[in-house]
Amino acid sequence: MTRNVLEWLEEAAARRPDAPAFRNQDSEVTYARLYDRSKEIGTFLARQIDRQQGVLVFMEKGPACLCAMMGIVQAGCFYTPIDPAMPMERMQLIVSVLQPACILCSGKYKEKAAELSDVPVFVAEEILAEQDEALLQKLRGVHLDNDLLYVLFTSGSTGLPKGVAITHRSVVDFIDWTSSTLPVDEDCIFGNQAPLYFDNSVLDIYTSIRIGACVDFIPPQLFSFPGKLVSYMKEHAVNTVFWVPSALANLSSSGALENAVPDLRNIFFCGEVMHCSTLNEWKRHLPKAHYVNMYGPTEITDVCAYYIIDREFADTDSLPIGFACSNSWVGLIDGEICVGGTCLSPGYYNAPEKTAEVFVQNPLRPQIREIIYKTGDLGEYNDRGELMFLGRKDSQIKRHGYRIELGEIETALCSIPEVHKGCCLFDSGEDTIVSFYTGDIDEKSINRILKKKLPKYMLPDIYVHKDSLPETGNGKMDRVRIRQDWNHEHSVN
């Protein structure tokens, strides 16, 4: 039984030494080189810091960064990747929570990394090609499967980022599911969209290592240029993607799918609601591809429920999130989706009070200690027994005596063919529902169509046309920014 993700890397390096493991437009690393380089970095770090300490990775996404991450694991430690383009204030908040033992960076970011903390800063390129097998094997000998593998930071309601801690055991359990359930093999070339600090990247990285496949780090800027993105994917023979739905919607609404990627055979998505209108547009152009809708918070490693698209849906339908992954538990408690199982995080790093708020005893099994995570998402089961996502608890509003899910309005809005992207918020001060959208349609036409889809009490009061809607670094719609911009514009006017 696998206890350490490095076992997969060892196997891949032995079985496919010359096969590309990770690549971008500038460089590539084979499995043999990834394994050797990880041991070089691991040897260096193991001589500097104790096992199971945190290391901040201050590098751009690419093959060199993966070598650094695996090197940290070789040293028996855990990693936290951050994007050097992040605002300095947020990076400093992450450092204040993580309190890393050191920072591992690229040479170009050495000075910037030194500004974050007074801990040692090591430049990855300067680490010498020296491997101490005895030292590394000693560390492996004391390894536990509940040792931390990484800590990824998400936004916190108090303004302080929350570090979700994930163990080797959780990733092993998750990847055993992906590699046995999803239609993937060593010939897969994953076109990576997710940043390394976002949990969706975990599927790309570790599924590939587990099966000996390849991850192509698509240049992030290409996601703003759909035509160039499609050309890149064709040129690099990308055949598998695991993207947030917003990224898929950008391609479908741009018309770039007319020049479809013929090699694309797996289209997986997670992280936000996939509107059926977007799904149907993709299926029209790539009808033979495998489509899988997945669901899961960072706190459950990545995914805990999934639905393999096996039937047709109308543009106005809602897509199920389906059923629990093997060895995961997904259930409803008072309408809230709660999750548990081996994939569950032990909690938020260095934040026991925040952990206690949402990692709680399962009230359905009080006889034994069983911790589950309260996601804050609302759900219900349809008549097929499939789990449906209804939206966030905090996106549910009560207006004029009615309980309203803003997500339901968004689904109706985005089902309009001329609407490319849409988002709704509630202005409690004005008691109004505000709808933001991009696309080639006027407000009166949208309102006329929505009157046929929604009851009167759910109709938006204000429609705001935008040339584009802001996105987070993960590629999701940036609802916080949309609200901030609206509040600013409203106060100015």
Among the listed residues 191, 187, 186, the one whose alpha carbon sits nearest the alpha carbon of residue 211: 186
pLDDT for 277-316, tens place per residue? 999 999 999 999 999 999 999 999 999 999 999 999 999 8
3-class secondary-structure state, position 167: strand
pLDDT for 385-439, tens place per residue? 999 999 888 777 877 667 788 888 998 899 999 999 999 999 888 889 999 999 9
pLDDT for 470-493, tens place per residue? 988 888 888 889 999 998 887 655
Give the CATH number for residue 410. 3.30.300.30
Residues 136 and 41 in one domain: yes
Residue 339 lies in a domain: yes
How many structural domains does the chain have? 3
Contact call for residues 205 and 486 (beta carbons, < 8 A): no
Residues 435 and 460 in one domain: yes
Whether the predicted pLDDT of 330 surpasses 90 = yes
Single out the residue in 87, 118, 143 at which a domain terminates: 143
Whether the predicted pLDDT of 460 surpasses 70 = yes
Task: Indicate the DSSP class of residue 289.
Answer: S
Residues 25 and 85 in one domain: yes
Residue 357 lies in a domain: yes
Among the listed residues 126, 15, 150, 134, the one whose alpha carbon sits nearest the alpha carbon of residue 70: 150
Q: Which domain holds residue 57?
A: 20-143
Residue 54 lies in a domain: yes
Residues 139 and 24 in one domain: yes
Give the CATH number for residue 385. 2.30.38.10
Q: What are the φ/ψ torsions at residue 278 (nearest 5 degrees)?
A: -70, -45
Residues 361 and 444 in one domain: no
Residues 440 and 377 in one domain: no
Contact call for residues 248 and 282 (beta carbons, < 8 A): yes
Among the listed residues 1, 22, 35, 373, the one whose alpha carbon sits nearest the alpha carbon of residue 176: 1
pLDDT for 102-156, tens place per residue? 999 999 999 999 999 999 999 999 999 999 999 999 999 999 999 999 999 986 5
Which H/E stretch holds residue 113?
helix 110-114
Residue 263 lies in a domain: no
Average of per-residue pLDDT values in the chain: 94
Distance CA 302, CA 204 (A): 11
Whether the predicted pLDDT of 67 surpasses 70 = yes
Residues 372 and 410 in one domain: no
Give the CATH number for residue 100. 3.40.50.980
Residue 156's pLDDT is what?
A: 56
**Tokens for 316?**
């106005």
Per-residue HEC secondary structure of 240-282 comes to EEEECHHHHHHHHHHCHHHHCCCCCCEEEECCCCCCHHHHHHH
Residue 138 lies in a domain: yes
Residues 414 and 473 in one domain: yes
Contact call for residues 285 and 260 (beta carbons, < 8 A): yes
State the pTM of this model. Answer: 0.89
Single out the residue in 127, 143, 159 at which a domain terminates: 143
Residue 492's pLDDT is what?
A: 58
Distance CA 192, CA 435 (A): 31
Contact call for residues 155 and 161 (beta carbons, < 8 A): yes
**Tokens for 218?**
């698509």
Residues 41 and 104 in one domain: yes
Residues 28 and 90 in one domain: yes
**Tokens for 84?**
């050097």
Residue 167 lies in a domain: no
Of residues 39 and 493, which shows the higher confidence score? 39
Q: What are the φ/ψ torsions at residue 27 (nearest 5 degrees)?
A: -155, 170
3-class secondary-structure state, position 104: strand
Residues 26 and 79 in one domain: yes
Residue 446 lies in a domain: yes
Single out the residue in 390, 409, 437 at which a domain terminates: 390
Residues 419 and 488 in one domain: yes
Residue 365 lies in a domain: yes
pLDDT for 211-220, tens place per residue? 999 999 999 9
**Tokens for 109?**
């970011």
